[in-house]
A and B are shown apart, each in its own frame.
Chain A
Amino acid sequence: MSRVPLPYNPKILELFRNPKNLGRMEDATVTAVAGNPACGDMITFYLKINDQDVIERASFESYGCAANIATSSIVTEMVKGMKLEEAWKITWKSVVEAVGGLPSVKFHCGILAVGALKRAIRTYYKRKDFSPDWLQKEPSFEEKQALEEEELAKILSKRMKMEEEK
């Protein structure tokens, strides 16, 4: 284990103290989860999408550090009122920019937040059994990263169980 300085900037602090769009959404059109408690990093996204494919409302819940909370919160702010096609174009870099920058060791928090968003969008269309032209078939960078993190957590948990049995 190693530690690094984490000089969080004012925007992160503000979103940590007063997260926007926090909490479960009972009438969500689609819900997506990314991460795993074993990674110490997990996000649930709730989107309310209308029949014009516009995100009317977005909310989140987060098991994670201040950067995780802040990036999740800002994504819910960014996507509000967006068409899904526009929301799909959000990248982790634009999220990091929107929160005013992150220590590099925390980039993965922004990546996970966008991964959760893209999963939600994909789930929505899968359920409609329709795939718009702009929705790329292969997973986006953020989706791949989220998946990789979850796989790593699984491997780690398995390894721990094996050590216990030894």
Chain B
Amino acid sequence: MTGNVKELLKAHEGLKREVYLDIENSSIVPKEVIDTMLPYYNQRAYGNPTLTHKPGWEAYETIMGSTEKIAKFLGCKTLEEVNFTPGETEANNLALMGAALSMKDKGKKIVISEIEPLSVLHVADMLNKRGFAIAKIPVDSEGFINLEKLEKAIDKETVLVSLAAVNHEIGTIEPIKEALEIVKDKNPKAIFHTPASDAYGKIHFNVKDLDVDLATISSYKILGPRGIGALYVKEGVNMERILEGQIGTQKLWPGVENTPLIVGFAKASELAFKNFEENVNHMRRLRDELIDGVIGKISDVRLNGPKGDKRAPDNVNISFLKCEGEALTIELSLNGVYVSSGSACTRRLLQPSHVLVAIGRKFAEAHGSILMKVTRYHTEEDINYVLEVIPKAVERIRGIVGSTGVE
């Protein structure tokens, strides 16, 4: 490493406002959540929940209490259906590999979509190298999965289907109920997994109404602590472990349970579901103000993903033509607006987001994309500030681009 971020950080001094909108990649944990977690590090329940002493039993009681809360919000029938993992990546890995291992003698085909998160796509690629055929269902220009192609892809060989309920990048709320019916009609034995981190606590989603076999949820996506997620495994669905070691309360994941993080996850869930409708309406309003404001103020922009009710309430994803994404994120950061770009310039060729490529965006459109997610804590003032900063930032970066790359 050649750099030194001290100067970069110093360049941010004296900002009049800071607005963090990069919830896709990490989140701010509300004080309320942290306060709930802290006692479990050193005051009580710091033991291992499988051991026969007071701090152990306290931990057992605490974990069960937290699991019960999450199970209720998720619509589970039993507490055993909630399997904590160190995050969404691990839960998706467990879902795909665990199901593939348990079903390997029944068939060798896995069906996913082109716009699944990387922790699904890359695991599918890995399973492909180990003998599974992978079918990737295409999506339309707004990111909706093609249900006809899904139906055609499902056959007797299909052992696993993984389709996200809400796309993490462009916010498309997928017709997952229809997809589930199609899959189970054609092959009732196929395990149906839905990565639901962008659905849980954000749209109406529970496994009572949507009878999936597996569902991944994540803590930080609902403003809980990082390092904890869960895989819902419906009672009766056979799964294999993908890691071995000391097994405790989590039958599918070895190792010592992280009681404070589990408590934080449960608390974050409570806060997301308390005044759910109000929270969602608030996010939707800010989301639309942000989208309409950017489109109204800046020329040559494209909204990625659908508009209105079919879009996740928090998601804003916009491509700025003639504007490179990384440069734009730095310029926005220097002005106190923290977002991420859909492309990562870490190789000779900038890697465009596979989601934007799948919905038919050209490379240059994908390279100039910005992803933002609003939360119930954001205010009108935040959005007004962001709408003040973005046009200036885009103008400056476009000024550097000049006539270069104009097609």
Contacts and interface: CB of A to CB of B under 8 A. Distances in A.
Contact of A63 (B5, B348, B404): B404
Given A1-B118, A1-B344, A37 B364 contact: yes
Interface string B1-32: 11111011001000000000000000000000
User: Which of A23, A41, A65, A160 has the most CB atoms of chain B within a 10 A radius of its CB?
Assistant: A65
Contacts of B11: 13, 17
Nearest to A10: B7
**Top 6 closest A-B pairs, CB basis?**
A40-B350, A101-B2, A7-B3, A61-B402, A63-B405, A10-B7
Given A44-B403, A160-B357, A7 B346 contact: no
Interface of B: 1-5, 7-8, 11, 118, 322, 324-327, 330, 334, 343-354, 357, 360, 362-364, 367, 399-405, 407
A28 to B, nearest CB: 12
A65 B367 CA distance: 10
Contacts of B363: 37-40, 153, 156-157, 160
Given A9-B7, A13-B8, A64-B327, A3 B400 contact: no
Interface residues of A, number: 51
A67 B353 CA distance: 20
A43 B55 CA distance: 62
A161 to B, nearest CB: 10
A125 interface: no
A2 B346 contact: yes
A103 B405 contact: no
A149 B348 contact: yes
11 contacts: A1-B352, A7-B8, A17-B11, A24-B403, A38-B362, A42-B404, A42-B405, A62-B400, A62-B404, A101-B2, A164-B360
A40 B402 contact: no
B401 A7 contact: no
A102 interface: yes
A157 B362 CA distance: 9
Given A1-B354, A13-B11, A39 B327 contact: no
Nearest to A106: B345
B329 to A, nearest CB: 9
Contact of A43 (B322, B364, B404): B404
Interface of A: 1-10, 12-13, 16-17, 19, 22-24, 33, 36-44, 61-69, 100-103, 105-106, 108, 149, 152-153, 156-157, 160, 164
Contacts of A69: 327, 400
A8 to B, nearest CB: 5
B404 A44 contact: yes
Contacts of B404: 33, 42-44, 61-63
User: Which of A61, A100, A164 gathers the greatest number of chain B CB atoms within 10 Å?
Assistant: A61
Contacts of B354: 1
Among B325, B349, B367, max chain A CB count under 10 A is at B349
A66 B330 contact: yes
A108 B357 CA distance: 23
A30 to B, nearest CB: 16
Nearest to A39: B349
A8 B12 CA distance: 14
A9 B4 contact: yes
